[in-house]
Amino acid sequence: MVKKPTVLSGVKDQVLKAPVYTLRTYDAEIKLNQNENPYDFPEDLKAETFRRFMALKWSRYPEFVPESLRTQLADYVGWQKDGILVGNGSNELLLASLIVLIKDRTPVVMPSPTFQLYGLVSQILGARIAPVPLKPDMTYDICGLLTRAEEVSAKVLILCSPNNPTGSEVALEDLHRILKTFNGQVLLDEAYYEFCGRTGMQFLSEFPRLVITRTFSKAMGMAGLRLGYLMAHPDLAAQIAKAKMPYNVNQFSLTAAQVALDHRERFRPAIEAILGERERLRQLLSEIPAVRLYPTGANFFLFELTVPPRPVFEELYQQGILIRDVSAYPMLSNCLRVTVGTPSENDRFVAALRKILDRVPAAPPESK
Ligand SMILES: Cc1ncc(COP(=O)(O)O)c(C=O)c1O
């Protein structure tokens, strides 16, 4: 008997099997859950963006290729304009890159845990994903990545530095080793670059199989406007461009990005303030006995608790402080993640966390 088609009959198997990428919307007075910038885009630069935007014709499409923004970006990052793509968030450029690189059963190696989108998109595209656990101290297992890449004949290796959700960085000599040894495509996500200052850019000329993505969502305080960029060899960038939608970035976001780059020095004080608070938060959190803090190169901390993390997350939330429960990630069953906020937000978070943990007797840490 012929099987009757159902509403989902036409959906690819790998999509049906993929988890839903979603984030429950919580409202909270103090929002430290998405690694956003606690300092908004400067007020006068908002006004300048509106002024420029008002002078444009809204009835017209934006430029097919945003030449002026690419020229500014080329100057900002020190890379050739033809090797730069602009996207509706760096997520769009990650998606376009993976569409171009992955076909059915393509072996893809990535660390675990890492930014969930890589696995989700790769799975939907039909990749065979080979996750390589981070080391117990959450540093990258470079030998593990290279060995696994060889074992599965990987075509793509994805790295995130600093890594979300752990904050771990790939050392530049390790990146160099990966690029020398692995002969597939390396995708390096530098969404948090401005908070660590280390970049793989210097390897782009020597290793044209490297693709680097970055974003205006974090350090530039533009998460709501969705703007990211990609740097690669111009020939490779031209291929990746085929997989992104025409006019993918709206004129308002393009205008705001141009204003931001025209006034790039104005974003430095907020970055410096976040770095200063990161150091203070590190100090404060490391004084709490039930907390084990992992090193970070980003604007957030991963920390492990000696008590179950979910009730702590819930209690913080009840007190108006929203952080991220990452305990469902591989290796992170006792962990939470917190974004570095303003001084008062960080103080409120630490005080609340201290109080909650004082009430719960800490179990002795497991020996590792
Ligand atoms: C590692 C990483 N890459 C990319 C993104 C998304 O960036 P965008 O807002 O540019 O799409 C995030 C956002 O949290 C992230 O953590």
Residue 365 lies in a domain: no
Examine the domain organization and report whether 70 and 190 are in the same domain. yes
Q: Ligand 1 within 6 A of 37 CB?
A: no
189 pocket-lining for ligand 1 (C-beta < 6 Å): yes
Q: Are residues 238 and 171 in the same domain?
A: yes
36 lies in the same domain as 67: no
Residue 162 is part of a domain; what is its CATH number?
3.40.640.10
Is the CB–ligand 1 distance for residue 91 below 6 Å?
yes
Cβ–ligand 1 contact at 191 (below 6 Å): yes
18: CA distance to ligand 1 center in Å? 20
How many separate domains does the chain show?
2
Last residue of a domain, one of 229, 264, 299: 264
Atom 16 (ligand 1) nearest CA: 164
| Whether residues 277 and 232 fall in one domain | no
How far apart are the C-alpha atoms of 233 and 85, rounded to whole Å? Answer: 11
Q: Going by C-beta distance under 8 Å and a sequence separation of 6 or more, which residues neighbour residue 235?
A: 208
Q: Which residues contact 45 (CB under 8 A, 6 or more apart)?
A: 259, 260, 263, 266
Last-in-domain residue among 236, 264, 292: 264
* Ligand 1 atom closest to 217 (CA): 9
Asked if residue 142 has its Cβ within 6 Å of ligand 1, the reply is no
Same domain, 254 and 301: no
∠ CA 94-99-103, rounded to 5°? 135
Do 137 and 237 reside in the same domain of the chain? yes
Whether this model's pTM surpasses 0.75: yes
**Residues recorded for the chain:** 368
Each residue's pLDDT expressed in tens, for the chain with a length of 368 residues: 677 889 998 998 889 988 887 767 778 999 999 999 999 999 999 999 999 999 999 999 999 899 999 999 999 999 999 999 999 999 999 999 999 999 999 999 999 999 999 999 999 999 999 999 999 999 999 999 999 999 999 999 999 999 999 999 999 999 999 999 999 999 999 999 999 999 999 999 999 999 999 999 999 999 999 999 999 999 999 999 999 999 999 999 999 999 999 999 999 999 999 999 999 999 999 999 999 999 999 999 999 999 999 999 999 999 999 999 999 999 999 999 999 999 999 999 999 999 999 987 655 555 44
For ligand 1, is residue 217 a contact (CB within 6 Å)?
A: yes
Last residue of a domain, one of 215, 242, 264: 264
Domain of 239, in residue numbers: 43-264
The phi and psi torsions of 142 (rounded to 5 degrees) equal -65, -45
Check whether residue 230 and residue 251 sit in a common domain: yes
Q: How far, in Å, is the centroid of ligand 1 from the Cα of 7?
A: 33
Numbers of helices and strands, H then E, in the chain:
12, 13
Q: Is the CB of 168 under 6 A from ligand 1?
A: no
Tell me the pLDDT tens digit for each residue of 208-229.
999 999 999 999 999 999 999 9
3 belongs to a structural domain: no
What is the whole-number distance in angstroms between the Cα of residue 35 and the centre of ligand 1?
A: 9
The answer, yes or no, to whether any atom of ligand 1 lies below 6 A from the CB of 215, is yes
The tokens for 153 are 């004949």
The domain spanning residue 347 has which CATH number? 3.90.1150.10
Q: Is residue 4 part of a domain?
A: no
> Is residue 33 located within the same domain as residue 104?
no
